[in-house]
Chains A and B, each alone.
Chain A
Amino acid sequence: MTTAAPAVGRGRPLEGRIGWLERTLGGITGNIEQAIFTEHHARSDGWLQRRDPRAKMIGLLAAILAASLTTSVAGLALLYAGTLAAARASRVPFAFFVKRVWLGIPFFAGVVVLPAIFFVPGPRIFDLALGPAHLAPSWNGLAGALIFVSRVGVSVSLAVLLVVTTPWADVLKSLRALKVPQVFVLVLSMTYRYIFLFLHTANGILLARKSRVVGRTSGGEQRRWITGTMGNLMSRAFKMSNDVYAAMLSRGFAGEIRTYATYRLRTSDVAALAGVAVVAAAAVLVGRLLP
């Protein structure tokens, strides 16, 4: 996979000195910081934070599905308005929420969709002749690009909103409400738990290397070192899985998984869910009525 970031933002050409090491470290600390940031906001007292996580999860799925189904920009705008209102009521830092999504989207969806504006057939907005070639964006191409970019943006906004208003443990428990098998939920929760351990370990290993490596090293040496590090992490993973199994066994684990549920669906949760359903249905219908 090539780096999933916008090539311009993180690419090597402009940051001659930022190598793989810094970039990996940056990614790792970014993830850790984000988790801490998220847990912080997930515990503040806002409208979405007070909702039952199961209602939140189902509402989110309904909204994303609506964003996927609608065929009009108006429908997407309606959904986005609802998302912004919910974010506001949940005390999500507004600038963060809007910027985070819309600064990233043009890079991904926008760059991807740009050429399509020019080669989709149909009436042209203008036709700029440059010698034998024509710079001629089409209305159809533009409409397609607009709806595509808004759809991606709204979907990402909704996912971000869920994440920053719900502690991870609650996201997991609400998966149970969606009938995801218990064993998957347990694996997910444990994975999340150990990701941070691995990220911290990897961070330590990378910093230790950074502090000792002076000057340039060859690409081959770097790749060998990285695979060595991965092998090392893998061997820790084996040991750790044995030890964690012992720790589970020690507390009576016998293959069957039982969990502790403390949620109760309140009237306000049901009302909120109904509200989301109305907005989602409206968004889809708007597309059908006003194409």
Chain B
Amino acid sequence: MHIPDGYLAPAVSLALAVPTIPIWAVATQRVKKVLNNRTVPLLAIFSALSFTIMMFNIPVPGGTTAHGVGGTLIAVVLGPWAAAVAVSTALILQALFFGDGGILAIFANCLNMGIILPFVGYATYRVLAAGSPVLSTRRAVAAGIGAYAGITVSALAVGIELGIEPVLFSQNGHALYSPYGLSEAIPAMLAAHVFGASIVEGLITGLGVSYLQRRHPEYLTSLRGIFAPDAAIDGTAARRPLWQVVTAAAAGSAAVLAVVGLVEGGGNPNRMFGADWSRVDWPSVATMLLVTAVIGLVLVPAAYLVLPASLKRIGAAFTAIAVIAPIGLIAPGFAYGEGSAENVKAAFGYVPSGLQDLSGIFSAPLSGYSVPLPFFSHASAPLWHAAVGYEISGILGVLLVGGAVYGLARALRRNGAEEVAPEGVGA
């Protein structure tokens, strides 16, 4: 999510300073008014904390790890203005010293993660937690959902910023900066976050707030008195079963997705995410989903059982991704029906542009390929035939890339063990 230099045109990088700098100025003033001379040490130490939180890898179901930003957690405790300054400071440090994110891109990164993230997160939290006691489970859940929403919207902002590059800046038909348009960059960023990084951010924030409720409730009450005097209501802690929390989180993310989809579709529910849903043949979609589900139920456990221990979890996860890949076929305007090869490539090509997403790697070499048999690719074949075709090519892709990567890594490990350079300077 840290945009490096070179991805954004300088005009975009600098244009993003126009909203960012005044917001910083207001944030500093707001924080100063409340904290007086304590501003400097408090903000500095919370920036350092935010930096440290960004270092923590969290195990994510499925075998990978991800790390959070902690912006919403800080906003819940110190208020969104202080969080904006603290996260921005950490981001500036990462750019200037640790090479994480570009220098000209500082304004973009600070706007996305330092401003949009805590404010959206905090606003969502306030709406969901309104009136509930400080120590109630609802507050912790609200904070988790707020964090989820915050980072997802922040990812959407990154997608928009990257997506407008080829529209605005091209020369002789080739892109000068990030080459993916809005229709690729936005879904890629959203997909990479909605199912991964956002969950992590939501989890650490929700669990973090519930930890504070149990161990240091004074940070949620006495500090609230300083930063947001209107919001403190005392109460007692109550435990809530996990399924309720998960359901609430799922409902929250569905709501966020729905809103994002509506915005993209110009407010028309039939054009969610800009696609024309009224042309979808729902019965054949249902057949396809059923077939996909059956294949998934067979293949994923099979992969788990067959693969060697070290590859079990990741292999199963990749298989699952390959199995669900054809769901993209539902979206009209991408593949089925119009069936243009360019669109198919675009639809699959965008997955790797989920900049850092592991799952992106597999589909690139086979982008747009289906199995060259009329059963799968015939224009009038039922949707589920095409889906199976995609699945086969997806799984083939996983096997090919997985094998290549595995072999490469083995070779590298054998040869290159002696070279140990300090980490983090590079991109």
Contact = CB atoms under 8 A, between A and B. Distances in A.
Contacts of B49: 198, 233-234, 237
A60 B63 CA distance: 41
Interface string A29-55: 011011101100000000000000000
Given A24-B57, A187-B43, A156 B426 contact: yes
Contact of B104 (A5, A64, A241): A64
Interface residues of B, number: 125
Nearest to B419: A99
Given A148-B177, A227-B204, A235-B219, A191 B90 contact: yes
Contacts of A163: 96-97, 99, 425
Contacts of B28: 181, 183-184
Q: How large is the interface on A (under 10, 10 to 19, 20 to 34, 35 or more residues)?
A: 35 or more
Interface string A269-286: 000000000000000000
Interface string B31-46: 0100011111111111
Interface string B402-427: 10011011000000000001111111
Contact of B424 (A14, A31, A105): A31
A16 B395 CA distance: 21
B298 interface: no
B180 interface: yes
Interface in A135-194: 140-141, 143-145, 147-148, 151-156, 159-160, 163-164, 168, 171, 181, 183-184, 186-194
A105 B102 CA distance: 13
B19 to A, nearest CB: 17
A151 to B, nearest CB: 4
Contacts of A204: none
Interface in A204-221: 219
Give the dominant DSSP class at A's interface: helix
A20 B368 CA distance: 34
B289 interface: no
Nearest to A180: B92
Interface string A1-43: 1111101100111101101110110111011011101100000
A113 B198 CA distance: 24
Candidate in A28, A163, A194, A228 with the most chain B CB atoms within 10 angstroms: A194
B160 to A, nearest CB: 17
B390 to A, nearest CB: 13
A241 B38 contact: yes
A96 interface: yes
Contact of A168 (B36, B63, B97): B97
Interface of A: 1-5, 7-8, 11-14, 16-17, 19-21, 23-24, 26-28, 30-31, 33-35, 37-38, 60-61, 64-65, 67-69, 71, 96, 99-101, 103-105, 107-109, 111-116, 118-122, 130-134, 140-141, 143-145, 147-148, 151-156, 159-160, 163-164, 168, 171, 181, 183-184, 186-195, 197-199, 202, 219, 222-224, 226-231, 233-235, 237-238, 240-242, 244-245, 248-249, 253-255, 257, 291
For the complex of A and B, the 7 pairs showing the least CB-CB separation, nearest first, are A30-B423, A131-B372, A16-B310, A104-B426, A155-B5, A190-B44, A152-B6
19 contacts: A1-B68, A13-B310, A19-B59, A23-B65, A34-B98, A71-B171, A100-B421, A100-B425, A154-B6, A171-B96, A191-B43, A191-B51, A227-B211, A228-B211, A231-B212, A233-B53, A234-B49, A237-B48, A253-B37
